[in-house]
Structure 1
Amino acid sequence: MSQRPILQRRLPFDATPRPLPGVAPLDPADWLIADEAFAQQMALRDRLIAGRRDAVLRLDPAARPAAEELLDTVLAHLDGRPGYRIGAEEVTRPDGVTLPIDRADPMATVGRLAQEDFCVMEKRGDEHVLTAAVLCFPASWSLEEKFLRPLVRIHAPIAAYDGDIARRVQRLFDGVRAGRPLWRFNLLTYEDPALFQPRRESDPRAPVPAGAGYLRSERQCLLRLPSTGAVVFSIHTFVLARPASEQEREVGKPLT
């Protein structure tokens, strides 16, 4: 899907690295955010949900109550936010687009309301499993491959995700409390600024050459839905062009 890069100018948070898993408390009022790329990102989300539905949407029938609760939670959160008009049957976004509230298709509706992607994780047995998602902006992973997989299996290709980290993350998902969300972020260097970059585990991303021109960061939030108990993992994606001076300083460094 060729397009001009959709870029933000800055990260709205302190990007000083933290030890894994790197979580911190989040003010519930700050869960979903709209930035200067809102209109462009939302237009792309609309196109992907309409034209690439199989690649960006998944819903296990057993997860429908959680998906419906997520939709209600997002609508309540956005009600009264600048630029939003929330009605009984439709929503007008800050970019002026009006869309129906389709309760028969909750994940698609949620995916068109905000810049964030949403993954619903439900406890099945001893682990949380990905049971529903709208993932328009994957950073080198595939929703098809991760759907209905537990946390450890989802993170299988990540070298830093060892047994100790896996146990800590599972305890984190077990411990997140309703009304007390958490957040973390990552920082990735990319040559390609495209937001939609699905990739299967058998086709790993090649090492990024020094001087690559884009910084990609995900602001990831964990929120417990009080009625179903599902954990929502939301992802707000930022892509920034790195200053030429910063790129030049990296020329000659080892590939990372």
Structure 2
Amino acid sequence: MILQASIPYNPLQAQPLPGIKPLELADWLRPDEACNEQLAYRSTLLGEKGDTVLRMDPGAQPAAQELLEAVLDHRYGAARDHVIRPDGARVTIDWQNPLATLGQICQEDFCILERREGCAEHVLTGAVLCFPASWTLAEKFMRPLIGIHDTVDSYDDSMARRVQRLFDGVQVGRPLWRFNALWYHSPELYAPRSVHDPRDQSHGEDAPYLRSEKQVILRLPNSRSVVFSIHTYMVHRDDVMAQWGGQAPSR
């Protein structure tokens, strides 16, 4: 069980979809008190789950390498051959397998989305996804945005157009962010679910754990690819209410 004791935004606050806000680039990657435990778990999943948590189209290699360089600059300074994680583990930087390296050195999951020639939408061309929340990478890999969200009832044609405009319009150095939040019965971070599985019973308003994702949309300057990063918080209901229960949600 890997839990945070707090969350840096009010997850109980009502959010009109898609709920996008500007973000200071300095706030893109922020480790929290669960960092060491999440990093260790991520390394275990990468070693045991193979392409269940890691997929990349060969054409996405330049974008993945650019993303790794950006993360190293942001979190680890001038490191280029290895990094020492906050938990003291040494991670060799593998430039030929950049997403695997990213999966071991950051709490965040990373998805690379590219708008390739002839495509009307951005397509998921690479991802390290150690902490899926009721979806699977295999079923979303190499699919466009509307295909990625085809099981989301609120993701209609109007929403699809709005999200595509966001991905087209996000500017280098000016990331955007949003959050989601659902109550879960289990605190398990690795929670994949196939679209073919029975109806999802993993969450409910009476469940004891709040799972919330801080999702950031960022443009890479050279490849012009869009990065979708996901920082996962899992907080017990008692801690959520102690921190935010007295705050009146905005309407």
Return the TM-score normalized by structure 1. 0.89
Unaligned runs of 5+ in 1: 81-85, 247-256
What does residue 120 of structure 1 align with?
A: 112
Unaligned runs of 5+ in 2: 242-251
Separation (CA, whole Å) in 2 of partners of 1:175 and 1:49: 33
Deviation per CA, 1:162-216: give whole Å up to 9, x if none. Answer: 1111110000000001110000000111101100001111114127344211100
| Larger relative contact order (CA 8 Å, sep ≥ 6) | 2
Give the one of 218, 223, 227 matched to 2:222: 227
Amino acid at match of 1:8: Q
- RMSD, aligned CA: 1.5
What does residue 61 of structure 2 align with?
A: 64
Q: Describe how 1:82-231 pairs up with structure 2 within 5 A.
A: 87-124=79-116, 125-203=119-197, 204-206=199-201, 208-231=203-226
Question: Does the aligned pair in 1 maintain the 2:218–2:228 contact within 8 Å?
Answer: yes
Identity level (%): 53
Closer, same or farther in 2 for the Cα pair 1:70/1:210, shift >3 Å? closer
Offset, 1:88: 3.0
Question: Does the aligned pair in 1 maintain the 2:184–2:209 contact within 8 Å?
Answer: yes
Closer, same or farther in 2 for the Cα pair 1:231/1:68, shift >3 Å? same
Question: Does the aligned pair in 1 maintain the 2:113–2:124 contact within 8 Å?
Answer: yes
Residue correspondences, number: 237
Which structure 1 residue ranges, 4+ long, deviate > 3 Å from structure 2? Answer: 207-210
Separation (CA, whole Å) in 1 of partners of 2:165 and 2:9: 25
What does residue 6 of structure 2 align with?
A: 10
Return the TM-score normalized by structure 2. 0.91
